[in-house]
């Protein structure tokens, strides 16, 4: 009886801590409102005001999120230490993307006054108003559909952890947390997303350091490896030294493919690349790259928790059925209650850091890109444009919550995330990445998006539980080839936009060409 009463008291404490964090996030959203209220650029790219600390944390917080703290321990519990290598690939790739690519994209997008990736593709490839509308609408539609798949994974991760923490059903937990994210994102736009991400990243790093410290204080890395040698992974292979790189590929070399995959993930996905568009014009990218390296290395250690749980609970029926529960069960059984409250809150921060960015990007795809292109770029007042974007956050956040309820609990969150982001990455790599250095034309951009995205999606669906990284990378190769070949074959009938054609920024409502 005494134990039950104590558990009840902890629930009240958890709620108090959670509500305090809600108040802080809402306050930040209101503070960012003054930037978002200015015009579309204020809402979409924070007035291009992100400096070293906030800009870097916005990228890192969005890149390392619910998949990192909930998905990665689950994959490492099921498949082994391959997830550690995958995470460190993200660390390398994010650093390269910020240091060597962000400046090129930022410079060209600023010249064209592009506030979103679909808008950038349209302005950098279309020489007629009609083709610009097609490109921007199609890219916005792909972004909307595929990032909705991704946000479902994020919302589901939020529900799994918060429900156990607050003692409520997962659907209610997801609804409460996402409602808070919707609120401050709608008010503050990208500025609120970036500012809250900065707070969240420091909390995430503290949580990661503590969790890994708990694991290593109990057992050394070598002891953990030696004891885990006796187990097999879900594919029936050697847990520590498997003959494949499952679930990311059927060959061992696929373990290293996380670096190119994560680089294109950071460079072209709209909810990541939009941060590059929001960097200050004079932001020192080398300093941002160095800070990114430090933060990403810390966050890449979190799969250690999954390995530790495999060692401690190898045949636990809950974890065998749903490996995504590795982190919640670690906090419940191996972390003191008071510290678990704080760590859980920081993990919720990790999930929010991507969910808020996804909601912002989904809203911009629907209410900025698809709306403007469908409306023939009719002029819109800054006040109305901001209001429409806010409504987009509200509507799409609600739809995301409803769709989450239909997803089975035992689906790997990382597979769900890669299905959305990997396919979108293959769609955008041609016109965004290659197009930043070698400009193709509108036909090449469309061919790359259709063929690249189709290849990645088909591969991921057919392979099912394997080749998680190979599918998107195959789509990247097909898209790159299609972009160059189709552009060259059709250049006479569809001229490309020269790099110097957009030296003067365009205004809201202006035609693209």
Q: Give the domain CATH number at 232.
A: 1.20.1730.10
Give the span between the Cα atoms of 381 and 283, in whole angstroms.
30
pLDDT band at 503 (very low <50, low <70, confident <90, very high): very low
Choice between 412 and 378, residue whose per-residue pLDDT is larger: 378
Q: Is 464 within 8 Å of 472 (Cβ atoms)?
A: no
* 504, pLDDT greater than 80: no
Residue pointed to by tokens 């994974």:
153
Is the model's pLDDT at 130 over the cut of 50?
Answer: yes
Q: What are the backbone angles phi and psi of residue 477, rounded to the nearest 5°?
A: -65, -45
β-partners of residue 232 are: 238
Query: Residue 415: its pLDDT value, please?
Result: 66
Asked if the structure places residue 398 within a domain, the reply is yes
In a domain, 315, yes or no: yes
pLDDT at 301 over 90: yes
Q: 236 in a domain, yes or no? A: yes
How does residue 210 score in pLDDT terms, banded at 50, 70 and 90? very high
Question: pLDDT per residue over 456-488, tens digit each?
Answer: 988 888 876 556 778 889 999 999 999 999 999
DSSP state of 430: I
Q: Does some domain include residue 437?
A: no
Does 19 map to a domain? no
Q: How far is CA 427 from the centre of its chain?
A: 16
352 by Cβ neighbours in 10 Å (0-12 / 13-18 / 19+) ranks as buried
- How many other C-beta atoms can be found within 10 angstroms of the C-beta atom of residue 54? 21
Question: What does 228-262 look like in DSSP terms, one character per residue?
Answer: HTT-B-TTSSBSSS-SS-TTS-SSGGGGGGHHHHH
pLDDT of residue 140: 94
Residue bearing tokens 């790219």? 45
Q: Is residue 331 part of a domain?
A: yes
Between CA 347 and CA 340 the distance in angstroms is 10
Q: Is the pLDDT of residue 21 over 70?
A: yes
Task: Out of 11-25, 203-217, 454-468, give the one with best mean pLDDT.
Answer: 203-217
Query: How far lies 400's CA from each of 171, 175, 351, in Å?
Result: 12, 10, 14
Q: What is the mean pLDDT of the chain?
A: 84
Give the torsion through C-alpha atoms of 178, 86, 336, 410, to 10 deg.
60
C-alpha Rg value of the chain to the nearest Å:
22
Predicted TM-score (pTM) of the model is: 0.82
State whether the Cα torsion 55-56-60-63 is positive or negative: positive
- Tell me if 468 is assigned to some domain: no
Is the residue at 15 inside a domain?
no
The tens digit of pLDDT for each residue in 211-252 reads 999 999 999 988 888 888 888 877 677 888 888 877 777 777
Cβ atoms of 263 and 107 closer than 8 Å: no
Q: Which residue segment(s) compose the domain that 383 sits in?
A: 24-413
Which residues 6+ apart lie within 8 Å of 464 measured at CB? Answer: none
Per-residue model confidence (pLDDT) at position 367: 92
Range in 152-156, 336-340, 367-371, 431-435 the model is least confident about: 152-156
Q: Cα 403 to the chain's mean position, in Å? A: 18
Q: How many domains does the chain have?
A: 1
Contact between 46 and 35 (Cβ < 8 Å): yes
DSSP label of 378: -
How would you class 281 by CB atoms within 10 Å of its CB: exposed for 0-12, middle for 13-18, buried for 19 or more?
Answer: exposed
Find the range with the poorest average confidence among 82-86, 199-203, 298-302, 413-417.
413-417
């Amino acid at each position: 009886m005494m134990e039950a009463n104590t558990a009840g008291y902890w629930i009240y404490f958890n709620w108090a801590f959670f509500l305090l964090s809600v108040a802080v996030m809402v306050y930040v959203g209101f503070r960012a409102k003054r930037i978002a209220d200015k015009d579309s650029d204020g809402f979409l790219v924070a007035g291009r005001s992100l400096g070293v600390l906030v800009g870097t944390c916005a990228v890192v917080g969005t890149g390392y999120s619910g998949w990192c703290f909930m998905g990665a321990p689950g994959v490492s519990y099921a498949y082994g230490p391959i997830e550690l290598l995958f995470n460190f690939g993200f660390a390398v790739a994010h650093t390269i993307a910020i240091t060597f690519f962000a400046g090129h994209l930022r410079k060209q997008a600023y010249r064209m006054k592009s506030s979103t990736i679909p808008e950038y593709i349209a302005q950098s490839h279309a020489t007629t108003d009609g083709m610009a509308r097609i490109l921007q609408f199609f890219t916005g539609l792909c972004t909307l559909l595929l990032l909705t798949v991704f946000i479902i994974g994020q919302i589901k991760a939020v529900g799994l952890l918060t429900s156990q923490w607050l003692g409520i059903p997962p659907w209610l937990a997801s609804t409460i947390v996402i409602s808070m994210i919707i609120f401050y994102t709608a008010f503050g736009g990208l500025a609120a997303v970036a500012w809250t991400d900065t707070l969240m990243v420091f909390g995430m790093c503290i949580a990661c350091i503590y969790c890994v410290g708990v694991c290593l204080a109990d057992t050394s890395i070598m002891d953990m490896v030696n004891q885990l040698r006796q187990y097999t992974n879900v594919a029936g292979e050697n847990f520590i030294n498997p003959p494949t790189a499952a679930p990311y590929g059927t060959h061992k070399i696929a373990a290293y493919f996380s670096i190119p995959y994560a680089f294109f993930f950071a460079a072209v996905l709209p909810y990541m690349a939009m941060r590059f568009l929001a960097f200050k014009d004079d932001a020192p990218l080398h300093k941002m790259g160095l800070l990114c390296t430090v933060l990403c290395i810390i966050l890449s250690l979190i799969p250690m928790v999954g390995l530790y749980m495999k060692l401690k609970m190898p045949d636990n029926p809950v974890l065998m059925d749903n490996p995504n529960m590795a982190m919640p069960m670690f906090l419940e059984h191996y972390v003191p209650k008071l510290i678990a409250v704080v760590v859980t809150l920081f993990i919720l921060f990790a999930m929010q850091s991507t969910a808020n960015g996804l909601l912002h990007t989904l809203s911009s795809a629907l209410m900025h890109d698809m709306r403007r292109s469908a409306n023939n770029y009719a002029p819109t007042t800054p006040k109305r444009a901001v209001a429409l974007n806010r409504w987009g956050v509200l509507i799409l956040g609600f739809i995301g919550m409803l769709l989450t309820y239909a997803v089975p609990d035992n689906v790997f969150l990382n597979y769900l995330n890669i299905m959305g982001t990997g396919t979108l990455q293959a769609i955008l790599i041609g016109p965004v990445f290659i197009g930043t250095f070698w400009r193709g034309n509108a036909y090449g951009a469309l061919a790359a998006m259709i063929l690249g995205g189709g290849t990645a999606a088909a591969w991921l669906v057919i392979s099912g539980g394997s080749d998680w990284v190979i599918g998107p990378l195959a789509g990247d190769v097909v898209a790159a080839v299609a972009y160059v070949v189709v552009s060259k074959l059709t250049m006479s009938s569809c001229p490309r936009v020269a790099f110097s054609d957009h030296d003067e920024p365009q205004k809201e409502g202006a035609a693209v060409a």
